[in-house]
Amino acid sequence: MRDWKEETQKIITWMRKKVEEAKAQGLVLGMSGGIDSSVVAVLAQKALGEKSLGIMMPCYSIPQDLEDALKVAQMFSIPYRVIPLEKPYDAFLEVLGEKQENSRSLALANLKPRLRMCTLYYFANRLNYLVCGASNRSEITVGYFTKYGDGGVDILPIAHLTKTEVIELARFLNLPSFIITKPPSAGLWEGQTDEEEMGITYEKIDEFILHKKVEEPYLSQIKSKIRASEHKRKMPATPEEITI
């Protein structure tokens, strides 16, 4: 068990340092109404106050998710904007000759986090902010994030924490129970949940990360996901190594 008071101070100090090193003015982040982004939003507010900005970007999302994100922003005095992305998403579908009915297609579903990435970097460029991501260690380990979508960020303050630890931190930060108990979801389509899509629970992933003890078939599934997602955790491949 981590000392969460100490860990919180460590993270917010690190966030301030990264902003200062980049000669930036603040942090911008997406707020989905889920536990990871809510934890990061509260940490950003603690680190930079009014120089933190939460962006809510509904795109045929569950209305409850936006309501939950708004409640968190208001409870913790987090500056925020709501930028609906249904119109640009529909425009992409039209250009691609696709239909909304095919939204369970991963190729189309991944357009949503990539549109969100573009939106966050728009605000980052305008305000001279860094883009702050919310991926945790469990997601990063198995590659459960969209390349150049929610993976397209400048800093990852909770990348060293497993999902289980993020839940513990959320409790320490006094996040509301409706955030902590909500089934984790990337909101790619209606009814989608992380664990159902991955085919494995965060509990098993965290057992593997923290203790290297997980039974079959989960061990093989996790190792397979790590191998298949290796490209997500590296810079693009080049014919020769570039040295600077």
The percentage of the chain sitting over the pLDDT mark of 70, rounded to a whole number, equals 96
In this model, does residue 243 exceed pLDDT 80? no
Read off the pLDDT of each residue in 166-195 and give the average, rounded to a whole number: 85
What is the predicted pLDDT for the residue at 103? 58
In a domain, 198, yes or no: yes
Query: In 3D, which of 83, 8, 82 has the Cα closest to residue 45?
Result: 8
Task: Please give the tally of structural domains in the chain.
Answer: 1
- pLDDT tens, position by position, 1-20: 799 999 999 999 999 999 99
Read off the pLDDT of each residue in 36-63 and give the average, rounded to a whole number: 97
Q: How confident is the model at residue 192 (pLDDT cuts 50, 70, 90)?
A: low
In this model, does residue 226 exceed pLDDT 90? yes
pTM: 0.93
In a domain, 46, yes or no: yes
In this model, does residue 30 exceed pLDDT 80? yes
- pLDDT tens, position by position, 135-153: 999 999 999 999 999 999 9
Q: Where are the alpha helices (DSSP H) in 76-211?
A: 86-96, 106-109, 111-127, 137-142, 163-172, 177-180, 194-198, 202-211
Residues in contact with 9: Cβ distance below 8 Å, sequence separation at least 6, in sequence order: none
* CATH number for the domain that contains residue 110: 3.40.50.620
Q: How confident is the model at residue 172 (pLDDT cuts 50, 70, 90)?
A: very high
What is the predicted pLDDT for the residue at 80? 98
What is the predicted pLDDT for the residue at 105? 81
In a domain, 242, yes or no: no
What is the predicted pLDDT for the residue at 193? 75
- pLDDT tens, position by position, 52-92: 999 999 999 899 999 999 999 999 999 999 999 999 999 99
In a domain, 62, yes or no: yes
In a domain, 239, yes or no: no
In a domain, 241, yes or no: no
In a domain, 89, yes or no: yes
Q: Which domain holds residue 78?
A: 4-233
Q: Please, is 20 exposed, middle or buried when counting C-beta atoms within 10 Å of its C-beta (0-12, 13-18, 19+)?
A: exposed
In a domain, 243, yes or no: no
| Sheet-wide strand order for 80-82 | 80-82, 52-56, 26-30, 129-131
